[in-house]
Amino acid sequence: MRYDDIIVGAGSSGATLAARLSEDPNRSVLLLEAGPDYGTIKETPHDLLRTTISMADHDWGWSAQAISQREMPFYRGKVTGGCSAINAAVAIRGVPADFDEWAVAGNDRWSFDQVLPFFRKLEHDADFGGDLHGKGGPIWIERPKPLNWHPTVAAFYAACREMGFPDSPDFNHPESTGVGPCARNLRDGIRVSTAIAYLGPARNRLNLTVRGGCVADRVIIENGRVAGVEVQIEGKVNRVDGKRLTLCAGAFASPAILMRSGVGPRAELERHGIRTLVDAPGVGGNLIDHPSVTTLAALSSDALKQAPQTDHSRFSVLLRYTAGGSTEFNDMQLYLMPLVDLAMWPGAPFPPEFPPPLMATCVLQRPRSRGKLRLRSVDPMKQPDIQLNYFDEPEDMRRMIDGLRLGWLLMYTPEIALGWQGPIAGMAGQTLDQATIDSNDALADFIRGNCTSIGHPVGTAKMGPDSDREAVLDQYCRVRGVENLRVVDASVMPNIVRANTNLTCIMIGERVADWMRAEV
C-alpha cells in the first residue's frame, strides 16, 4: 500500500499532525512509532499516567555531553505520545517575543499573532477564557488551587511575593511574569498526552494506521523526492511507500534520520560512507536546550506529615522571572517541589535509601550556548553523539550563578526552612554550603558538576529563509532539496522558547497540519 502521508514519530508534534491530517477521510495516514503503542487509557501503564515524570520503562536510554568530559542521561520518550507521555505535564507557552523573533529571522508565518490561534485550538483551558485562551481543544489545561498546595510550596509563593515578584495567576497570558500556579495538562491526576488527547479520538478512523515498534532507518529519496521510508521491525528491514513523509522524531532522532538518508553536512555524511544527496550544513547544528541545576534537602518530619492532603510531588508553583542584569525577559525559572512520594518519579537517579527530598531547581530559559549532534554510526539502533555545550557562553553561567543564589536565599527563609533539614546537595552528591554560594568560582564548579537537562532540546533542523545557509527547512517546514519531505517537531525552532517546550511542539503540529491539508 502507498500512503498519502507517512509520519515518523508519534510524539507531541507527530500524534497531533496524524490526528489532524486524518480528519480528511480521503487521505490515508500511517503513523510510525519506535516505542509501544497503547490504544486506550485502560491499556496504558501507570508510569505514563499518574507519575510526576517517568524515567523508566519508556525511555530511549540515551546520554549526552552536558559539558566537555561530563556525560549525563538524557531522557526521551519511547512510546506513542513521545515525551508528552512521560514529562512533567507543564503546559506553558513561550513568550510572544520568542515567536516574533522567529518571524523577524525570516519566518513571518510564525509571529505570536500567527501562532496564537493554534495555541487556542489545541487547548481546553479550565481556568481562563477570552481571546487569549482556548476552549474545547484536545489538551486539558488547569492550575492547582492554593488550597491544595503543600505548605512548603505555599511558603515558597509567599517568600517570592515578599521579595517583590509579581503574582502571576496565568502563565499563558502574554505579559505574565512572577510567581504563581503552574499550568498543567493534567486531568483528574492523569497526564493528558497527545496519545490520549489526539490519537484517542482518532483511532476509529479507517484512514489512520498507528504502528508501534517501528524504528526509522532512513528516508527513501528517488530523483529528488520522497518515495518512502525504511524501518526496522523486530530486527527486519521493511520499506513503506508514501506520497509525503514527515519526520516528527524529535530534535535528536529527526536530524539523525536525515543524515542517514543523505541529507546533512557533506563531511559528516562522507565520514560514515553515506552518499550526499543534499549538502545541508545545518542538520544537527544549532542544538539548544534548557540547562538546569537541582539541589536536594531531606524533607522535615512536619513537611512529610502535611503532605497527604496536598498536591505534593507535582509541579504546583513556579517562579518565572528575569535574571538580575539581564536584558532577556523571563529568562529564568525556579521552583520548589516536595518529593514526598519517590514512586512518582520511576527511574529517577536517587539511591534506594534516599529520603524524600525537597527539590529546588533553577532553569536557564534563554541560553546563548549552542551544541551539536552528529552520527556515531549508521545503525539506527545506536544513539547519535549529542554535545550540549552548556555554559560555553559566560552570560549563561553568570545567570545560573545568580539563580542558584536566589534559590539558596529562598530555601533559608523561615517558613520554607521549616520544610527541610540539611545538608543541601546537588544531584551528583556534592554538598552546597555558604562558602560555595559566596564564591563565583566555586559555585561555577558546582554548577558544572551538577547541571542536567529538563529535556527540551530544539533547533537541530531549523527553519529559515533561503539566505540562511544553516536553515534546513523553509518556514513551512519543508526540507530544502527534497520534494514532499518535512520535519515537524522541536527540531524546527530557530531559537528555544522561554517555557517548557511541549505546548509549543503541539502548536507546531497544529500549525503545519493546516498547511499540509491545504496542499494537493
Q: Would you please indicate which residues are annotated as catalytic (active-site) residues?
A: 456
- C-alpha 510/C-alpha 520 separation (Å) is 18
- CB-CB neighbours of 431 under 10 Å: 12
Cβ-proximal residues to 466 (8 Å cutoff; 6+ apart), any chain: 474, 480
What lies within 8 Å, CB to CB, of 441 at 6+ separation is none
In 3-state terms, the chain is what percent helix, strand and coil (to 5)? Answer: 30, 25, 45
Instruction: Specify the residue for cell string 556534592.
Output: 430
**Beta strands at 123-125 and 139-141: parallel, antiparallel or unpaired:** parallel
What SS3 state is found at 516?
helix
Distance, CA of 494 to CA of 473 (rounded, Å):
10
- What's the rounded Cα separation, in Å, for the pair 475 and 488? 11
Say which amino acid occupies 294. Answer: T
From the number of C-beta atoms within 10 Å of its C-beta (0-12, 13-18, 19+), residue 283 rates as: buried
Q: What is the DSSP string of 257-299?
A: HHHHTTEE-HHHHHHTTPPPSEE-TTTT-SBB--EEEEEEEEE
Please calculate the CA angle 79-261-2 and round it to the nearest 5 degrees: 70
Are 476 and 110 in contact, with CB atoms under 8 Å apart?
no
How many whole angstroms separate alpha carbon 64 and alpha carbon 72? 6
What does residue 136 show for φ and ψ, rounded to 5 degrees? 90, 0
Give the Cα separation of 58 and 190 in Å (integer). Answer: 17
Q: What is the DSSP letter of 486?
A: E
Which DSSP category does 196 fall into?
A: I
3 state SS for 360-427: EEEEECCCCCCEEEECCCCCCCCCCEEECCCCCCHHHHHHHHHHHHHHHHHHCCHHHHCCEEEEEEEC
Contact 297, 473 (CB under 8 A): no
